[in-house]
Structure 1
């Protein structure tokens, strides 16, 4: 019996496994929200891989001899139509998926296998709805053709018993036939197995543990939004300033030393996304013995945010999250602070993020003596009032983001 070439056989079974996997994963993506981000990236990688393998399969089909058709009439016509439809599906589904990503409002970068960048297609945003509908329709079209193809193979093997299936098996081995046939359910099961399980209800997320010098009970917990709104303004009353003694020295200014960190963490279903800002500056004037003298200003370069994943890092500057093009910097300012413990303080001020200004409070500690102090603290920021995470990919994220910071400051010499 004439068989297909070995490369055609290999491509047939690899693509069959990949399609089964894609079908299984595709069913779950819509309901996952942000929890399905990594799976969505894998789905794109597998889709482009199917596209490339299909192009190779087409080239092999025209360059390698293949067995002649065994049936005529309507059965033969149906078989040809199914094969042609499958090729259209294997080309059309990845291409419409690529177009869907390219026309989406939130531009999500694509790195094939986490390494190779895939550019967006030069398509207008108005084409998004059309590509979205086309991709979904092709998916169902592909499932139908896939089932018809399997049914045809079973018909030839179990009813007609003409051995047609052996043309796509390198050896006439029943064990090998079953092994290859099991690739299809294996793809379906693998796709289902890697889908994230439903996580618990959204919760407030604690920041990462602070350094030992910040472990006092006074600042271990971050402030909630309601606490922020209820805090006093900490303004120094003008009458108190009027009676201040001339002998009191002005509060010292402190200069940040290299090596500091501002980190953030947000719950994502059963997981937690953690990241940090690579570029930021801070200016602090404060006498630790007179916290009401505090004058704090922290400016963060929002384009420097990273969670350690190229896909998600590419999303952070976009409109859904930080809108860096219009609002490159976030700024926290506070005048005055209040003591909460031996080394603990609380400062209430304002946070300007994404063009929106709201009250915000932080807790921090100052440890050490003399010219150098270690500063560590935390805050909890409600993301919705600032419009951070306002799209479909953020649906699984917790409502509040925990922020932690730690750095060393040295007193300026006057």
Structure 2
């Protein structure tokens, strides 16, 4: 039994590639569909969901490399001639579907892989080579675009697969020819001369170009959201009453740019995100009075949270519960702490008011101040993730980091 193709049949290597790819597809797609629809209300449910997603992603990467190897092999091989060369429309359709499958076997796993690399989240790929991709930065925008493309491309892959299977069954049931037998057993068939028609390739490329444009259009509304914090944007009212800078007699400062980020361990991996909408009322003097430099009130729109692939979960009832608590407020006084400063006050989050201290560094040049600080809070203090009592699923500490640049106003 020959390893290479002939004009009348497929060789052993091509058949192995074909059936290995088929087995991977019929395993990978159901796993992804099941994982997508699994609940995650408890730590046990989350662990199962993450495990299935990890297997799905790992198989997807395997499909990508198998598909590349298969395409490279096919480019060096003789292409068996059509069994019915006179049926030009049928031959065109079969070859167009075949090329659509080739393209999908590369683009479907690749878009999923880029989405995985662009956002932080649970369910790592189960291999020792890391979770990132060269030239793919961490970006919610990139994640949204390629996530939308992956979801759309999967259905094109399945449509192409259904048409491919339907064609094979037609050859068995209606035509009763050797088309399927050539791929199953390498059975040779009487055929004409092989040919390399360009029209089916162009048709498949046009289909995928249209699909790529559709994916871009689907994701475009989401990509118009800001990727960095808009510190001057309004936020919902909360129970805490901000301290007015006018009451302190200190200089007020207008935030010009900044970011308010957080990071938490989930399933052993750090998941990082940020709030896109928040505001800060700052009153600050370089020289302290009665041991205090001023006050700060930070108001946060919790609905603007993006947290990698688990944003929806984080904004759900078990965590930030943004439907009932759309805002949070940190109100504090500022005092010197060695060569730096510390803001000591309370954080009103999810209906719970707890003491929080934020150490930070401050560099003032003329009327411009650059501030960097971070603190760690325990999610349990605010009633978040009560059903996730196992820290191996979702970590208890949450690292909060803030950076901003502000201008003196008076």
What TM bracket, shorter-length normalisation? 0.3 to 0.5
TM-score computed with the length of structure 1 as normaliser: 0.44
Decide which structure has the larger Cα Rg and report it: 1
Looking at both structures, which has the greater relative contact order when contacts are Cα pairs under 8 Å and sequence separation is at least 6? 1
